[in-house]
């Protein structure tokens, strides 16, 4: 699973960076777009803190960030996820935690890792729709595109 998780989070980092570059190049400051991406970065931070057994970070789950702030958030959290996965071998364990509103849950760490990456993909798709609806051109963040670039086919 470790190899799969590393691929998944390297792709996630690549996709997040592509979206941020797209926003910068088109000078996009659409509040909902920035809010969705901020939500992704903060959720990634919250989940990583839970998985690592760290205290809940002092972050707002829904807030609007500038593109520069998002670049800093993603540069940090995407790398931290990759480092966490790289430095661990066993992810098949149950984790007790409370969600953002304080409701207690128990989830498997493997499921959390998969969820967090899928959550980011879901919201990047929402961003793409919002960009197109507002006259901007979204960037392709499909995994197969990442794989083709990585393997030198594109």
Give pLDDT tens digits for 8-58: 999 999 999 999 999 999 999 999 999 999 999 999 999 999 999 999 999
What the block records as the tokens of 117 is: 């990456």
pTM of the predicted protein model: 0.95
Fold for 2-150, please state it: 1.20.120
Half-sphere CA count of 114, side-chain side, radius 13 A: 9
Q: Domain ranges for the chain, please list them.
A: 2-150
Yes or no: say if 77 and 48 are a contact pair by the CB < 8 Å rule: yes
User: What is the torsional sign of CA 73, 13, 86, 115?
Assistant: positive
């Amino acid at each position: 699973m470790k190899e799969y998780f590393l691929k998944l989070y390297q792709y996630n980092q690549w996709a997040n960076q592509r979206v941020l570059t797209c926003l910068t190049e088109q000078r996009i400051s659409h509040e909902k777009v920035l809010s969705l991406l901020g939500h992704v970065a903060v959720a990634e931070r919250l989940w990583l803190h839970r998985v690592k057994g760290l205290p809940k970070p002092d972050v707002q789950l829904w807030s609007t960030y500038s593109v520069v702030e998002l670049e800093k958030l993603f540069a940090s959290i995407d790398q931290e996820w990759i480092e966490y996965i790289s430095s661990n071998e066993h992810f098949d364990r149950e984790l007790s935690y409370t969600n953002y509103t304080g409701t207690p849950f128990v989830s498997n760490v493997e499921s959390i890792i998969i969820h967090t990456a899928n959550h980011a993909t879901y919201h990047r798709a929402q961003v793409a729709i919002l960009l197109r609806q507002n006259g901007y051109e979204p960037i392709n963040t499909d995994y197969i595109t990442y794989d083709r670039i990585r393997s030198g086919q594109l």
